[in-house]
Chain A
Amino acid sequence: MPESEQLLALYREMLIIRYTEEQLARSHQMGLIHGACHTYVGEEAIATGVCAHLRPDDAVFSTHRGHGHALAKGVSPHEVIAELFGRSTGCSEGRGGSMHLFKPEVGMMGTSGIVGPCILQATGAGYSFKLLKSDQIGVAFFGDGAVNNGAFHEGLNLASIWKLPTLFVCENNMYATEVPFAYSAGNPHVGNRGPAYGMESLTVDGNDVLAVYEAAGEAIQRARGGEGPTLIECRTYRTRAHAEGMRDAGYRTPEEVEAWKARDPITRYNGWLLENEEAGPETLAAIEAEVKEMVADAEEFARNSPWPEADTVSEHVFSQR
């Protein structure tokens, strides 16, 4: 069980992700976001539970649904919102948008518009860290849609044969856009696939932040200790549409969505903290108010930020050296 301070930090981090995502959804409706916006609402426990164990020099590689990973890894809501607004103060200085959030200074090595490569790149980070004899680790977050891609097979095999310090976190939210995972996987138990590669693997409730925290903690300790990679399947659900502005019907039932909303990771954790007297209602309310204000400030910062200068468009194709 984490210390009290850590328990509250987990709560605060999930709220940062939730409030930022809800702000982004509103901003999308107002036309302030120019491209795609895939929110992480409902899945906050996973990024939070994993990244709580990571240092700034650990490397995270993420997906198209990656705002939560960036925030949990230490990118500020200001830099995330500004990036989606296309402003020069965004974490990718307006060159990336939602699916290309980069802040290597805190180990956020990119969200991605392509499903799969993050698995290989996290494997490569593991290779670097092993070669450099450091105790850093590489972490890949990816959805169920990635595990039937060749990158999953090749990446897990390479990480296994060289015992790389890499953690593979599958966020199984049951749908690849609208294609059910139950339809597209011959073996729908991702958490059972590790042994096929000679690797530890397990399944956890991805809507239970403490379960994720515990499983990730053990796997990360093994990776840092040279004991190799782990695959963790986190069962979860996105409660908003695949992307903002998309229809969200025809492939899942309202009853299913409501059932998962009843398992909301933040509401559940709030209840757990109160029940176990880890925090009183005032403490939690104070955290909620503080985070709300931070996100409101971030939105204002983003909205008032300058656009990138058009004459910088050709910079950074190659290194400046």
Chain B
Amino acid sequence: MRELTFVEATLEALDSAMARDPSIFVVGEGIGARGGNFNTTVGLFDKYGPERLCDTPISERGFVGMCAGAAMTGTRPVVDFMFFDFILDAFGELVNQIAKMQYMSSGRLKMPILLRGAIGIGHSAATHHSGSYYPIFAHLPGFRVVVPSVPSDAKGLFATALQSDDPVLFLEHKSLLFNRGEVPEGEYTIPFGQARVAREGTDCTLVAIGSMVDKTLAACERLAEEGISCEVIDPRTIAPLDMETVLASVHKTGRLLIVDETFQPCGVGAEISAQVIDRGFDDLDAPIRRLNGAHVPTPYSPTLEEAIVPEAAEIEQSIRDLLAE
């Protein structure tokens, strides 16, 4: 099968959806003729013109609130934040308006808005260009939160997001954007709330999110040489969260480690742990463990930056520790 980068995969989904649905438009800084800081809209400006590929001033609250109004009145905005950190200037519009609009209007308004941006730590981007923040949004009723880890999933999930009548946050880790992977031709969708089992195994369950999936798979490869069999689950969407796949896996393995670059307190791992304790307590043969990025703002210097992100060796050690319990 042909290979595409993450960025090329979502671009393909966006292009075909825009060709079919004239109500889709994209806003963001430099997403017009420039094609996006991360090449997310390359070539689309020439095809669809400036109203559908709309360059904005640096006015995040303004254009997010504007896109809320657009979504309420018959169009389907895609907001390209470039760096997802910039979404925080629009937090009130997201939480008080976009997430609540369908409920406030007793379902008579839809909120088909797709909000995308690059997340994650790397390349000394420092603390204003490294945030992920998805646990915050998963906490709130009204959002769909997508964190894909491979190009084929990115394409299918992006296509689903473009058809959704709910607000969708589509978060792409910077370190994955230019990774290549096999991507099917043509249009296809992947439903939200359906995890992918990235590797099957019997000795322990690893839930890994976004950029942590590849690192966790690398750790599992090394352990496999010693006959240790790990199962790796990529939830793909944080909200809705596919707990059934996690619970079925823990039923089989009896052990669970959650690997996530975002902060540990009140995070996705805490939620998964609580649900497994609640619904799968008897399946557990060991305490649930979490491995997260450090609970600090992101530092600049490479030595400091490396110190806060879980790497394959650290994941490998955490698995060994869990198996020793």
Contact = CB atoms under 8 A, between A and B. Distances in A.
Interface of A: 59, 61, 92-93, 95-96, 100, 102-105, 109-110, 112-114, 117, 119-132, 136, 138, 150-151, 153-155, 157-158, 161-162, 315-321
Interface stretch (B57-65, B154-162, B199-207): B57-65
B52 interface: yes
A121 B165 CA distance: 17
Given A59-B73, A319-B166, A102 B105 contact: yes
Contacts of B68: 117, 120-121, 124
A128 B75 contact: yes
Interface of B: 23, 25, 51-52, 54, 56-57, 59, 61-75, 77, 92-93, 96-97, 101-111, 141-142, 144, 164-166
A316 B93 contact: no
A124 B73 contact: yes
Given A117-B97, A132-B75, A158 B63 contact: yes
A92 B61 contact: no
Contacts of A155: 62, 65-66
A157 B97 contact: no
B104 A95 contact: yes
Contacts of A162: 54
Contact of B103 (A95, A104, A123, A126): A95
A165 to B, nearest CB: 11
A131 B51 contact: yes
Contact of B97 (A121, A125, A136): A121
A56 to B, nearest CB: 13
B96 A124 contact: no
Given A104-B72, A128-B73, A316-B103, A120 B62 contact: yes
A317 B72 contact: no
A124 B71 CA distance: 8
Contacts of B101: 110
A321 B107 CA distance: 11
B61 A151 contact: yes
Given A104-B105, A110-B105, A117-B97, A158 B66 contact: yes
B65 A124 contact: yes
Given A110-B109, A120-B64, A131-B23, 16 more contacts: A59-B69, A95-B105, A96-B104, A104-B72, A104-B108, A109-B72, A110-B104, A121-B65, A121-B97, A125-B72, A126-B69, A131-B70, A138-B73, A153-B62, A318-B142, A321-B165
Contacts of B93: 117, 120
A136 B92 CA distance: 27
Contacts of B109: 102, 104, 109-110
A124 B61 contact: no
Nearest to A113: B96
Nearest to B164: A319
Contact of B25 (A61, A102, A104, A131): A131
B62 A151 contact: yes
Contacts of A128: 69-70, 73-75
A131 B51 CA distance: 7
Contacts of A321: 165
B69 A318 contact: no
A88 B215 CA distance: 52
B141 A317 contact: yes
A123 B66 contact: yes
A121 to B, nearest CB: 3
Contact of A316 (B56, B63, B102): B102
B86 to A, nearest CB: 14
Contacts of A92: 104-106
Given A117-B96, A122-B69, A157 B62 contact: yes
A136 B72 CA distance: 14
Contact of A120 (B25, B61, B106, B141): B61
B96 A114 contact: yes
Given A120-B62, A318-B166, A105 B103 contact: no
Query: In this complex, which of B52, B69, B97, B104 has the most chain A Cβ atoms within 10 angstroms of its Cβ?
Result: B69
B249 to A, nearest CB: 26
B72 A59 contact: yes
A127 B62 CA distance: 13
